[in-house]
């Protein structure tokens, strides 16, 4: 479904990705982890054309997309929903109209029709009772749920979550975790999650791929991360201040 083949990316003299290979299957929940600056967000942004690789190939549904023109990414972005770390809701619009906006702009639906579908998406994330409130009235966890509902309006095949639980309190974080897993099952989406949250990793992920120095150090089930004897992996899992990851 998604395949990165030998993807390289550098910003000036700073090499971030050194030939990354990763395959993500249908309906999988795959977490990409690693230290800050390892290139996790850089990698997933290639999927929707926010960044272009310097070398290698990216395939989506059997189509090579890494050399597409900007205008060709319009269809790709309808299939791939990107949930940013910050919810990026419009403060001047109600929750309902935030969720309805992609339907009006992307599908040309009327206000009434878009709101009807938007309410259905809010019900999926248990946010229908907040439909007529404004984002500023909601906490960060509730805003995240609205952002996920908005992302689901165009029925994407893929959802990319960039640090979905960062800055959330523990209860809100676990609710977002449950939502990611629930959406994977209920609407059969493939989920690619960039995260530092070990609780999320060990409770939600089907697979975990750890980036280190521009390539994947480990790629397997969460147990493979926890049980690895690699000192870099162990430093990450245990949250140790000193160790090989610093060098």
- CATH number, position 19: 3.40.50.300
- Mean pLDDT for 5-30 is 95
What's the number of domains the chain is made of? 1
Q: Has residue 141 been placed in a domain? A: no
Evaluate whether residue 125 is within a structural domain: no
List the domain range (segments joined by +) for residue 41: 2-88+160-246
Average pLDDT over residues 75-84: 88
Residue 242 lies in a domain: yes
Q: Which two tokens stand for residue 113?
A: 């029709």
Q: Which helix (H) or strand (E) holds 60?
A: strand 55-60
pLDDT digits (tens, 9 = 90+) for 108-150: 889 999 999 999 999 988 899 999 999 999 998 899 899 999 9
Per-residue pLDDT tens over the stretch 207-233? 999 999 999 999 999 999 989 999 999
Whether residue 213 is contained in a domain is answered as: yes
Query: Taking a C-beta distance cutoff of 8 angstroms, is the pair 180, 191 a contact?
Result: yes
pLDDT tens for 37-67 read 889 999 999 999 999 999 999 999 999 999 8
Residue corresponding to tokens 């899992």: 237
The mean per-residue pLDDT over the stretch 5-23 comes to 96
Instruction: Answer yes or no: is 113 within a domain.
Output: no
Q: Which residues contact 165 (CB under 8 A, 6 or more apart)?
A: 172, 173, 176, 177, 195, 197, 200
Q: Is the pLDDT of residue 7 over 90?
A: yes
pTM: 0.88
pLDDT at site 247:
43
- 62 assigned to some structural domain: yes
Query: Is residue 131 a part of any domain in this protein?
Result: no
Give the end-to-end CA distance of the chain in Å, rounded to a whole number. 35
Assess if residue 118 is contained within a domain: no
């Amino acid at each position: 479904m998604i395949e990165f083949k030998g993807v390289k990316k550098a910003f000036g003299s700073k090499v971030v990705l050194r030939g990354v290979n990763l395959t993500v299957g249908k309906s999988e929940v795959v977490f990409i982890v690693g230290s800050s600056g390892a290139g996790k967000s850089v990698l997933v942004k290639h999927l929707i054309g926010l960044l272009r690789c310097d070398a290698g190939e990216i395939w989506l549904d059997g189509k090579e997309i890494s050399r597409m023109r900007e205008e060709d990414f319009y269809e790709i972005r309808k299939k791939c929903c990107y949930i940013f770390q910050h919810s990026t809701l419009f403060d001047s619009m109600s929750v309902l109209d935030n969720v309805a906006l992609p339907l009006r702009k992307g599908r040309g639906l009327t206000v009434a029709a878009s709101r009807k579908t938007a309410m259905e998406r809010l019900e999926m994330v248990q946010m229908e009772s907040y439909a007529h409130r404004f984002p500023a009235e909601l906490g960060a966890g509730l805003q995240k749920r609205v952002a996920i509902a908005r992302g689901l309006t165009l029925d994407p095949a893929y959802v990319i979550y960039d640090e979905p639980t960062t800055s959330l309190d523990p209860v809100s974080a676990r609710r977002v975790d449950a939502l990611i897993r629930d959406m994977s099952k209920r609407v059969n989406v493939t989920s690619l999650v960039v995260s530092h949250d070990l609780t999320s990793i060990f409770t939600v992920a089907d697979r975990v791929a750890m980036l280190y120095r521009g390539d994947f150090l480990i790629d397997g089930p969460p147990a493979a991360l926890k049980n690895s004897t690699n000192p870099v992996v162990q430093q990450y899992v245990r949250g140790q201040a000193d160790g090989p990851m610093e060098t």
